[in-house]
Amino acid sequence: MNAGRFRTSQILLFVALAAFTAAMLTPVVWALMTSVKQPIDAFAIPPKIVFEPTFEFHRQVWLEKGFGRFLLNSAVISLATVVVSVSIGTMAAYALSRMSGKAVGGIMLALLSLRMFPHMLLAIPFFILAKYLNLIDTYPAMVLALVAINQPFTIWMMHSFFVDVPKEIDEAAAIDGAGEWQTFFRVVLPIVRPGLWVTALFSLLLAYNEFLFALVLTGPHTKTLPVAIAEYGGEDLNYWSLSAAAAIAIMIPIVLFMMALQKHLVRGLALGAVK
């Protein structure tokens, strides 16, 4: 009886997850179909399921619209942001996880409040500062801005992983003669390495998908993919298939990156879930 109920619940759970996955993938599948349709087929009523595909719009995106250069800009900015943000955030999170008292809670709350600031309020000061320093349309301007807004998130993520590492491990390393830096790099950091991968990935996604700061701080030489795709669209239906092809082009690199790190992501998300 119990086995039958368990099997029924498992089937219902599988059906619910399948329905949820299908709902989440529907926009992606629709964009993919639109990107290989002629505009007359993309906007046919009722929608055409059977059609003659064309890869002309994908060719235009990569060969005529210069998406390769925009992808390089996004990759440089995103990777630099991850390296700087995760490095600083990891050390700060470790220090906070080993502190005690009400001050830690206050610091964490202050960091969270900074992350809750609307980006529009921060975009203008960043623009004025970048213009004053002559950094508009440069990589450092975007990297510094993204590090500033993503740092609270990085510290919060890594702090949640470090607090699950018992302080006794640090004490044992100290008894064996390890210094603070040796304890951090050789003992504690390897334990939370899966969490480090997860934090790096989410930081990468935040930097890769950033639009407002990229719109304000970049220019012709450092334009990123989200800003580039905003140029395609409008009222002309001929651009919709091109926009869909550009959207698919933006998703492909990050999807491949996530697939390559799938094992690390699963371990990182599970880290700390089992006490």
The Cα 213–Cα 141 span in angstroms is 9
Confidence at 86, pLDDT banded by 50, 70, 90? very high
Q: Mean pLDDT over residues 172-182, rounded?
A: 85
Q: 144-154: per-residue pLDDT in tens?
A: 999 988 898 89
* Level-2 CATH architecture, domain 66-231: Orthogonal Bundle (1.10)
More confident residue, 79 or 262: 79
pLDDT higher than threshold 70 for residue 235: no
Identify which of 242, 265, 250 has the alpha carbon closest to the alpha carbon of residue 208: 250
- Return mean pLDDT, the chain: 84
Give the start-to-end residue ranges of the domains of the chain.
Answer: 66-231
Please work out, in degrees rounded to the nearest 5, the angle formed at the alpha carbon of residue 87 by the alpha carbons of 175 and 146. 155
Position 249: which residue type?
A
Structure tokens belonging to residue 234: 């409008």
pLDDT of residue 27: 86
